[in-house]
Amino acid sequence: MMRVRLDIETLSVVTTQSAHNQTASLHDFLRDMTLQHREAIQFVGEKHQLVDQRISRVEGMLRAQSAQIQASQFAQMGPFYDRTRPQSQRRYSRPVSKNRTPKMPPRSEAVGVRLTQYASVCRPGCPCACHSQTRSTTPGFMDRMLGQLFVGYAGMPFFSATCDTDTCDKSQAPHVSFEYWFPLGFCWSQIVRLQLAYQPNTGPQIALSTLRRVPDSAQCVSYALEGNIEGLQSLFKHGLASPRDVSSTRGYTLLRWALYGQQYETCKFLLMAGADTEYRPISVNDDCPSDKACDIILRGGVSEKTMEILRCLAAGSDFVDNQNFAPIDKIVLKLSLQDLEEEILRNPDDVDIPDANGRTALEWAAARGDDRAVTMLLSYGADPDVMDKKLNTPLTLASNQNQTVCVRLLLEAGAIPDPQLPAGIKFGSPLNCAARNASDPLLLKTLLDFNANIEASGVDGVTPLLHVARGNSASHAMLLLEYGAEINVTSKDGRTPLTTAIVYNNHNVLKLLLDRWYEYSECPRLKGPHLLSLVAQYADLRTISVLTSTDHLKLKFDKEYVLGDFSTRLQQRVDVTEKLVDALEDLLNLINQGYVEKESIESRMESGLLRDQGSKSPTSSSEESDDVFEDAQESIGSQACPTFRLEKRSTI
């Protein structure tokens, strides 16, 4: 067989065109390229200038509105005007006492047996429908008598969704989970979890664990929300709570509640105490703590210290790998150094391309407070009302992250202030998020000016005013009340704005609500949880002082109102002091004194003393005597809640 080898060292092209013409053509080409480049730079510069002008206009308008709000509220409240949040709700937690060492066990005291965890066979981040977990639950009306049963499954033949992606390996490890919630108060309010899975290489797997169900109003939930680490330590030490407690309404663990309240030091404490970072809430639209920590990291705007805690929570999570970020998402998230506008011009159809959670680049930009990216995306047609799989919109995320400028830009672009949710779904609105997290009431005013529903609530029935009473300033509360917020609203756990302000020691909001006592349609002392019981459990010295200085608790009431072992409840608190005990005694004595004075006036009326005083006048008549008697009744009635307001209403 013969082989032929050909080596080419040089290759040249000879044309009939002269060298002069070739040089001229090259110069023309370079000149055209330079001209196009200059035009492109000029176009981009003009675009950026328009973006800067719009952002500057919005910022200037918001500054002017903020100054107007401050001036108006200062004129109403004078020296009592205080824009600061309550101490316990600022974004740092109460430190652990240096003189005490945590006596927490290295792991939870709850019973748990785990052999191994199931793993997916397909590649991480596969967007195929067969990987989505389906979850079903028994009807809510059965909860009180029979409890609730949750069933979740994925990869189950004949049950799971069929594949809808060509790149899917069509090999999902089957797994199913059963979770039974005993009714509250029965069988120690236990939650039993059973997880079954099958792996081709290891065979069947099983995991069994137990948790404890608590109401949303439980003391451990309140401590997790406000960041009271010492309070949680005391509850754990005395067996009154555990890191594996789960609230009834949302299915949040204490760790998830601490994340919800942005109490990151408390998250660190609960993680060290054995909290489960993978436990998922009831709603399929909600994240477990580890995935939520990843989400918060990507949203940005947190300190390095907070970032370290979030990284510990997110350890082992596949959240980022599973998102399938498009190039435009990576640019917005600063995971790519490419120019955003150039990417949009290259791929204009990708402006609203969703990631695995259905979140678009506009949602990420709004959450991060990138007003330039928000303006750019909106100018190229990004949908301001797009809703991801977690039921978030760009406006919801911007409101949750306290991004006032982005909220204004989105609303001006036509964003709906109250997104349309699927039938039967309750989810926090942008105004709910703003009331919970916004440091400036201007964000609330911006949403309200665009007709946001002021009574919107999530599955727990917590309205914006209840959120503000829990952890925001009196300036926020005053703004909501001026816009018509319902002061008599009650959440599903029976709390009102007044009782919420007492529980979370929000002194300025408490004063404001007491000053507006005349707006209550029912006597707040007889509505919702017992005020004195909450005072004994939660109130600090200043809260008790505010209540003592008001005349409302000295008004007409039943004698049984002060019957209760409130002092014993106070003694059970970890932070009890002699000053607290004395302050509570003074409050109880003040209320009892009001009752004695009321009885004294009524006894005088019954004995005829008031009538006799009226008859001393030489011109008195039976008609005048009746007038005196009616005046006496009116003087007593003016000190009490009107009769129709004293009707006790059952709470949920």
* pLDDT, tens only, 286-332: 899 999 999 999 998 889 999 999 999 999 888 888 888 999 999 99
Q: What pLDDT, in 10s, does the model give residues 66-85?
A: 777 777 776 776 655 566 66
pLDDT at 99 over 60: no
Buried (b) or exposed (e) across 398-433, using 16+ Cβ within 10 A?
Answer: bbbbbbbbbbbbbbebebbbbbeeeeeeebbbbbbb
Buried (b) or exposed (e) across 508-531, using 16+ Cβ within 10 A?
Answer: bbbbbbbeebeebebbbbbbbbeb
Does this model's pTM top 0.85?
no
Beta-carbon contacts of 288 under 8 Å, excluding residues fewer than 6 positions away, are 256, 277, 278, 279, 280, 281
Domain ranges for the chain: 112-286
Distance CA 573, CA 56 (A): 51
pLDDT band at 572 (very low <50, low <70, confident <90, very high): confident
pLDDT band at 270 (very low <50, low <70, confident <90, very high): very high
Question: By mean pLDDT, which of 183-187, 439-443, 636-640 is the weakest?
Answer: 636-640
* Residue type at 149 in one-letter notation: L
pLDDT at 513 over 50: yes
Question: By mean pLDDT, which of 35-49, 109-123, 367-381 is the weakest?
Answer: 109-123
Give the closest residue to 284 by CA, choosing from 195, 207, 363, 389.
Answer: 389
Distance CA 507, CA 471 (A): 10
Distance CA 567, CA 565 (A): 6
pLDDT band at 541 (very low <50, low <70, confident <90, very high): very high
Residue with tokens 């909106």, as numbered in its chain: 378
13 φ, ψ to 5°?
-120, 130
Residue with tokens 């028994």, as numbered in its chain: 138
Distance CA 77, CA 83 (A): 11
Please give the pLDDT value at position 466.
95
Residue 253: DSSP 8-state = B
Distance CA 645, CA 275 (A): 45
Name beta bridge partners: 181. Answer: 148, 191
537 φ, ψ to 5°?
-85, -35
The token duo for 550 is 């008001």
Interstrand relation of 203-214 and 245-247 (parallel, antiparallel or unpaired) = parallel
Question: By mean pLDDT, which of 111-120, 423-432, 515-524, 593-602 is the weakest?
Answer: 111-120
Please give the pLDDT value at position 22.
58
The token duo for 346 is 């290259």
Q: What pLDDT, in 10s, does the model give residues 328-340?
A: 999 999 999 999 9
Handedness of CA 219, 224, 230, 234 (dihedral sign): positive
Distance CA 454, CA 261 (A): 21
Interstrand relation of 112-114 and 203-214 (parallel, antiparallel or unpaired) = antiparallel
Report residue 1 CA to chain centroid gap: 81
Give the closest residue to 472 by CA, choosing from 94, 83, 75.
Answer: 83
Query: Distance from first CA to last CA of the chain, Å, rounded?
Result: 95
pLDDT at 618 over 50: no
The token duo for 590 is 């003040």
391-401: average pLDDT: 95
Q: 463: how many CB neighbours lie within 10 A of its CB?
A: 25
